[in-house]
Amino acid sequence: MPDFPDYPIMQDNIPISDDRAESYPDDAAGEAIYREVPHNLEAEQALIGAILINNDAIIKVQSFLNPEHFINPAHGKIYEAAIRLIEKGMLASPVTLKPYFEKDALLEEVGGSKYLASLAASAISIINAADYGHLIFDLAVRRELINLGEDIVNGAYEHEIDNDFKEQIESAETRLFKLAETGESEGGFKNFAASAASAIEIIEKAKNRDGKLAGVDTGFNSINSHIGGLHQSDLMILAGRPAMGKTALATNIAFNAAKIYARDRSLGVSHEENSGAVVAFFSLEMSADQLASRILAEQAMLSAQDLRQGKMTQEEFNRLARTAQDLENIPLFIDDTAMLTIAALRTRARRLKRQHNLGFVVVDYLQLLRGTSKNGKGPENRVQEVSEITRGLKALAKELEIPVLALSQLSRTIESRDNKRPMLSDLRESGSIEQDADMVTFVYRPEYYHKQKEPDAGTPEHDLWMSEGEVLFGLAEFIIGKQRHGPTGIIQLQFAPEFTRFTDRPIGEQYLPEQNE
């Protein structure tokens, strides 16, 4: 909150100073009119008086009212001191607070310790404490809105190379959104009845879907059956080495969720009961048109390589055009801004939540995001930056109550092992990623590494290699390395590299509950 001048307290109906008034021309009278900064000193006096008379009044306002919300700094200091005494189990009254303010300059300006007694005399009923607290809070937010507006105007007048208009808009939007959330019930205790009711709602939703899933549908039955879909407020990490297909799998999941959402909406299913989701895909590595080309190739069952080179027949092109037309109403939004900061990502996700009821976020990939700190480069700073990013993604999931899927790289140490199957320790900057994530998964294709071990043709070893390759052809493993809400294990999928498409295994759905080291 901005610092305000020390204004005299209104006593005996004496008006406050006009120093804080703003002058504006009056077109009608030709004279200046004045607008005062929003405030209500009598409400502040009455509320603090109520707290000093009955300390239980603090319970009514402490969850949303802070010392800086009082326009008079002396009131804020008294309020803060009262809270500290009450939290220590002591009585907060004019007598007990007097020693703390005997030499306080702010309190001396308004009458010293005698003012504490006068506040108690102006006390309101504890029943009205919450109403007065909300009034004080509302006026404080209005003052902050004025301050924000002035900063926006002043910032727009400044011309700096490192601060373009887009960054100014994102900064203003972030501050405005935070201000809109100020005072909401962000935390605190919930009684068990309220928590149980929320849990029952989630369980009931799963029951209505025949017990298959309670979260967002991934489009993969084998995955859904073991994780129950993508749950709201969860941060899920999907990691893998290059060429394993982590972007392809994330794209498949994102598109499936958006397609299911559009299908359910067309059938009249409400947003609350919809098993799909409106999806935001933040592609920091690939451009939006490249990502769209992948999706079109997968859905039209055409070679992605041929599409890039324009190698297709007229019939294949017509099929591609029909597919693009069919997918026009899919609620999948792609943001391909490079070097995006975690703050900007959260701002854009919030905006999409307000505009289109966003239900699922995908980030490709985590290490390409930037933090907000200005510290220099280095391993320690990079670890701190990744920690800030993962905390930001988890906070976004909780704030918007949606699942967030973030892709991550794996360290090169995996290449030096005989067993290439990834583990949690292979995550880059694994400490913060593993700690903040609700689920850590890996995508692994043993066929890729098997091809690198091809012996000389015509040898018995080559024949054995060929037979092993037939078994591994198209095999992909979706490895659950960590899951807060369920078991770990390995789910086998089928991968078609020419279409960059993952599907459930055609012959049974195989699940290995124990991972191989």
Q: What DSSP character marks residue 375?
A: P
**Token pair for residue 369?**
């995001």
Considering 58-62, 400-404, 447-451, the range whose residues carry the highest mean pLDDT is 400-404
Taking residues 156-182, what's their average pLDDT? 71
The rounded radius of gyration (Å) of the Cα atoms in the chain is: 30
Query: Given this model, what pLDDT does residue 203 score?
Result: 61
Q: What DSSP character marks residue 286?
A: S
- Going from N- to C-terminal start, the domains of the chain cover 18-181, 209-443
Residue 231 and residue 244 in contact, taking contact as beta carbons nearer than 8 Å: no
Q: How far is CA 441 from CA 195, 240, 362, 487, 502, in A?
A: 28, 9, 14, 12, 15
Question: Regarding beta strands 279-283 and 360-364, do their DSSP bridges make them parallel or antiparallel, or are they unpaired?
Answer: parallel
Find the DSSP H helices in 94-215.
94-101, 105-109, 113-121, 129-157, 165-181, 192-208
Report percent pLDDT > 90 for the chain: 7
Taking residues 257-266, what's their average pLDDT? 88
Q: Distance between the two ends of the chain, CA-based, in angstroms?
A: 54
Segment 224-243, tens digit of pLDDT: 888 888 888 899 999 988 88
CATH class of 209-443: alpha beta
- Does residue 441 register a pLDDT over 80? yes
- Does residue 509 register a pLDDT over 50? no
Q: Which H or E run includes 439?
A: strand 439-444
> What angle in degrees, to the nearest 10, is found between the helix axes of 342-356 and 165-181?
60
Burial 115-147 (b: 16+ CB within 10 A, else e): bbeebbeebbebebbbebbbbbbebbbebbeeb
Best CA proximity match to 438, nearest among 478, 389, 486:
486
- Helix or strand or coil: residue 299? helix
Query: Given this model, what pLDDT does residue 111 score?
Result: 66
Taking residues 291-319, what's their average pLDDT? 80
Burial class (CB in 10 A: 0-12, 13-18, 19+), 378: exposed
CA 313 – CA 346 distance, rounded (Å): 43
**Token pair for residue 321?**
């055009």
Residue 261 and residue 270 in contact, taking contact as beta carbons nearer than 8 Å: no
Q: How confident is the model at residue 281 (pLDDT cuts 50, 70, 90)?
A: very high
CA 134 – CA 169 distance, rounded (Å): 29
CATH of 18-181, one of 3.40.190.10, 1.20.1340.10, 3.40.50.720, 1.10.860.10: 1.10.860.10
CA 465 – CA 450 distance, rounded (Å): 8
Residue 502 and residue 249 in contact, taking contact as beta carbons nearer than 8 Å: yes
- On the question of a common fold for 18-181 and 209-443, the answer reads no
Considering the entire predicted model, what is its pTM? 0.64
